[in-house]
Amino acid sequence: MLFKVIFHILCFNFIFFFATASAKNKQVIDIVYLTQEKSPPHFLSNFDIFVKNKGIFGAELAISDNNTTGKFTNQQFNLKKLIVPEDGAADDVFAKQIAGKYRYLVTVLPAEPLLKIADLPAAQQMLILDAGTTDDELRNGQCRSNVLHLLPTRTMRTDALAQYMMKKRWTKWFLVSGKAPEDLLFAEAIKRSAKRFNMDIVTEKPWEHTYDARRTVQSDVAVFSQVDDYDVLVVADEQGEFGEYLDYRTWLPRPVMGTQGLIATSWHRTHEQWGAIQLQNRFKEKAGRWMEEEDYAAYLAIRAIGEAATRTQTSELNPVKTYLLSDKFALQGYKGNPLSFRSWDGQLRQPVLLAAPQSLVTVAPIEGFLHPKSELDTLGFDQPESKCQWNH
Amino acid sequence: MKKMLLSGLLLTMSATVTAETVFVTLEKDNALAIVDPVGGKLLKTVPVGQRPRGIAISPDNKVLYVATSDENTIKIIDSETLKELGRLPSGDDPETFALNPAGDKLYVSNEDDSMVTVIDIAKKQAIKQIKVGVEPEGITVSPDNRWLVSASETTNMVHWIDTKNHEISENTLVDPRPRAATFTADSQQLWVTSEMAGTLMVLDVNTKQIIKTIKFEATGVTSDKIQPVGIAIDKERRRGYVALGPANRVAVVNAQTFEVEKMLLVGSRVWNLAFSPDQKRLYTTNGVSNDLSIIDLENMAVTKSVGVGTYPWGVAVKP
């Protein structure tokens, strides 16, 4: 008898549940993804295959994760992908295909086209999630109130390296920098971190040798690196023009870190702790390759929108943005700590991985580097030093 | 049938009046550690299969179920002889699972496929797969056998699955990265931990709503490090215990007022919890310090730490 009653209640509940679900209209959240084609750089090692479509598979995986949740919350997430040809203009594509049609834009673009788009009138009614830049300037003097940043900046990375170097007491650095503008920015970040953590840059030298380094590097590096004694060689070579050829060829037996050797990164194929192995597996199954940093950033960008839309039960820009920048927002990033946005510059707070090509060495912030609010804020520009003023 | 079970239970109880046996899965040693908790000694370690994680004991205490994740199976092991009796088709990479009160069905979280697999133990067959949220982890059955609950870590939900038809009937959105879920003995409340928010949520089973959220804090530990995982609630619902992961503490929660009464310092990255049969002791697996902590619940003090092996994960107790 009792069983029968329970069963009836159950049936009723069931019908009721489905009735409400179908009566309500599905909430639709449209997200557009914008990137530009790149040709392979000239000086890449012969062994690494050039990955053409960094970011897209991360975005697709996040949309499918969002929709699994959306199935239960009656929300649907759609992704429109736009790829600008190498000779095209991203802001033109934005004006023609995005302006006025979308609220959420995820970009894997360099700083210049990103800023151009962010300053367009139509972009003022949008939220742009930048999954492509590491420039500190975009989070300082050139910050925009309609842009959030997913990748760790150069200073977050060099602070992570410096914390580890401090723990190892490798305090004397030999800084070798390339000549590209990006290399100079990375070298600047290195110098800032050295000062911040009381490291000593004993020698600084620009790399001036031939760029087809494979041929002559054997003799070049040995001669080039005959400098005053140091603990570690720090290299700034973002394009990978010569950095790979320093290790094992220096005059003194010293480790290499920076853009090659021990690197600081938001994601790495050797990372499998904190459930990361699940994300690595799901990604590899989808993309047939390892997850790159841009994929991870695009994944987080779209998961962040999903998480905020689910929690606020809306697709509207303002409540979603307010939620993203609030203390309540906590995103699972498979790196132990919950991720959140810095309210003063829109940068995603996150642990930074320190990785060698075949092994994960450690994760920063390194234990012992304390902060009154969040230890994640020991990496990069903290609130008191920030030059970002969002009201402009 | 019931009578038989009962007499069987009495027999085993009288045969081993001295103390219970604690079984711990060792994720990196591919082994099972057998501990005498009263003597505070590791009795022996036996090989069990590749990457053992989740563990449970049958209601009659005769068999252990051990998920050997890298072998994609759940092994049935005789709890006396420790010999393998058979294998269950768990689906890929089984980690956590739950037994129903009758002990004839087993529910497995398949993290990579976003599925819950229902296994008929007698037939050794998977009888259904239920599509749930992304990365299901915590899984539990209510003591009255009414609800199966699965928590998805990335979807941030608990799914209420009807045990009669194995369909999802309701979903509750919870704090980020829910890990463990446990019902109170009266099946009236569901307790769920959130690893990312550092909280314990208490849900009312009738309304499926969160009635209380407890945010854990510990002096000298930043909030990032407080990552609640395993839960154990005593039968009288006086106190619940929550393992706080890398905070290396077990929180003692008053299950009536929901006040945090005490923080007990245990080993590194405390993960799963189990009571002694008389509920006078609590055992914790500490993944990084490779030991089992024994907590005396009458004095609310950690009395012993027993080294068990590399990466202790799950724990089960046999009276």
Segment A127-149, tens digit of pLDDT:
999 999 999 999 999 999 999 99
Contact (CB<8Å) B224/A337: yes
Tell me which residue range forms the domain holding A58: 27-152+268-350
CA-based radius of gyration for chain B: 18
* Beta-bridge mates of residue B296: B281, B301
- How big is the A-B interface in CB pairs under 8 Å? 72
Q: Is residue A288 part of a domain?
A: yes
Contact (CB<8Å) B171/A73: yes
Q: Let me know: does B276 contact B285? Beta carbons within 8 Å.
A: no
Q: Is residue A160 part of a domain?
A: yes
Q: Is residue A303 part of a domain?
A: yes
Q: Which of A230, A265, A300 is the last residue of a domain?
A: A265
Residues A162 and A138 in one domain: no
Q: Is residue A376 part of a domain?
A: no
Distance, in Å, from the CA atom of A43 to the CA atom of A317, rounded to the nearest integer, reads 43
A194-226 confidence digits (pLDDT tens): 999 999 999 999 998 665 555 556 668 888 899
B201-251 confidence digits (pLDDT tens): 999 999 999 999 999 999 888 787 899 999 999 999 999 999 999 999 999
Residues A194 and A254 in one domain: yes
**Complete DSSP assignment for B120-187:** ETTTTEEEEEEE-SSSEEEEEE-TTS-EEEEEETTTTEEEEEETTT--EEEEEE-SSSEEEEEE-TTS
Question: How many Å lie between the alpha carbon of A238 and the closest alpha carbon of chain B?
Answer: 32
pLDDT at A218 (0 to 100)? 63
Distances (CA, A) of B268 to A124, A338, B78, B305: 48, 20, 31, 11
Q: Which residue carries 């697996």 as its tokens? A: B285
Q: Let me know: does B38 contact B17? Beta carbons within 8 Å.
A: no
Residues A255 and A205 in one domain: yes
Q: Let me know: does A210 contact A216? Beta carbons within 8 Å.
A: yes
Residues A261 and A324 in one domain: no
Contact (CB<8Å) A69/B169: no
What number is the average pLDDT over the span B69-81? 95
Q: Which of A241, A265, A289 is the last residue of a domain?
A: A265
Q: Is residue A96 part of a domain?
A: yes
- Of B152, B121, B117, B157, nearest to B137 (Cα)? B152
Query: Which of residues B295 and A371 earns the better pLDDT score?
Result: B295
Residues A256 and A291 in one domain: no
Residues A243 and A291 in one domain: no
Q: Which residue carries 């446990």 as its tokens? A: B182
- What 8-state DSSP symbol labels residue B50? S
Which residues of chain A are within 8 Å of residue B158 when distances are taken between CB atoms?
none
**Residue of chain A nearest B154, judged by CA positions:** A332
B89 dihedral zone (left: phi>0; alpha: psi -120 to 50; beta): beta
**Residue of chain B nearest A300, judged by CA positions:** B154
Question: How many Å lie between the alpha carbon of A216 and the closest alpha carbon of chain B?
Answer: 46
pLDDT in tens, chain A (392 residues): 444 444 444 444 443 343 344 435 789 999 999 999 988 876 656 667 788 899 999 999 999 999 999 988 899 999 999 999 999 999 999 999 999 999 999 999 999 999 999 999 999 999 999 999 999 999 999 999 999 999 999 999 999 999 999 999 999 999 999 999 999 999 999 999 999 999 999 999 999 866 555 555 666 888 889 999 999 999 999 988 889 889 999 999 999 999 999 999 999 999 998 889 989 999 999 999 999 999 999 999 999 999 999 999 999 999 999 999 999 899 999 998 889 999 999 999 999 999 999 999 999 999 888 888 889 999 999 999 999 987 54
pLDDT category of residue B60 using cuts at 50, 70 and 90: very high
Residues A66 and A160 in one domain: no
Query: What distance lies between CA A341 and its chain's CA centroid?
Result: 12
Which residues of chain A are within 8 Å of residue B224 when distances are taken between CB atoms?
336-338, 374-376
Contact (CB<8Å) B112/A282: yes
A326: contact with B, CB 8 A cutoff: no
In this complex, the residue of A278, A332, A337 whose CB is nearest that of residue B111 is A278
Q: Which runs of consecutive H residues, i.e. helices, occur in A84-126?
A: 90-93, 111-118
What number is the average pLDDT over the span B14-19? 50
Q: Is residue A240 part of a domain?
A: yes
Residues A104 and A202 in one domain: no
Domain count, chain A: 2
Distance, in Å, from the CA atom of B214 to the CA atom of B222, rounded to the nearest integer, reads 16
Q: Which runs of consecutive H residues, i.e. helices, occur in A119-266?
A: 154-168, 181-196, 213-224
- CATH classification of the domain holding A43: 3.40.50.2300
A67: contact with B, CB 8 A cutoff: no
Residues A173 and A245 in one domain: yes
Distance, in Å, from the CA atom of B312 to the CA atom of B303, rounded to the nearest integer, reads 19
Sheet with A200-206, side-by-side order of all strands = A200-206, A172-177, A232-236, A256-258, A262-265, A352-356, A359-364
pLDDT at A19 (0 to 100)? 36
pLDDT at A208 (0 to 100)? 81
Q: Is residue A363 part of a domain?
A: no
B222: contact with A, CB 8 A cutoff: yes
- Of B132, B142, B85, nearest to B111 (Cα)? B132
Residues A129 and A34 in one domain: yes
Residues A103 and A144 in one domain: yes
Question: How many Å lie between the alpha carbon of A307 and the closest alpha carbon of chain B?
Answer: 9
Q: Is residue A47 part of a domain?
A: yes
* Beta-bridge mates of residue A261: none
- Of A380, A377, A298, nearest to A340 (Cα)? A377
Residue to substitute from A5, A14, A69, A274, interface B, most B β-carbons within 10 A: A69
Residues A148 and A44 in one domain: yes
Distance, in Å, from the CA atom of B227 to the CA atom of B245, rounded to the nearest integer, reads 5
- Of B175, B217, B225, B182, nearest to B197 (Cα)? B175
Contact (CB<8Å) B112/A278: yes
pLDDT at A94 (0 to 100)? 97
Q: Let me know: does B282 contact B250? Beta carbons within 8 Å.
A: yes
Question: How many Å lie between the alpha carbon of B109 and the closest alpha carbon of chain A?
Answer: 13
CA-based radius of gyration for chain A: 23
Phi and psi at residue A104, to the nearest 5°: -120, 125
On whether ipTM exceeds 0.85, the answer is no
Question: How many Å lie between the alpha carbon of A66 and the closest alpha carbon of chain B?
Answer: 8
Q: Let me know: does B150 contact B113? Beta carbons within 8 Å.
A: no
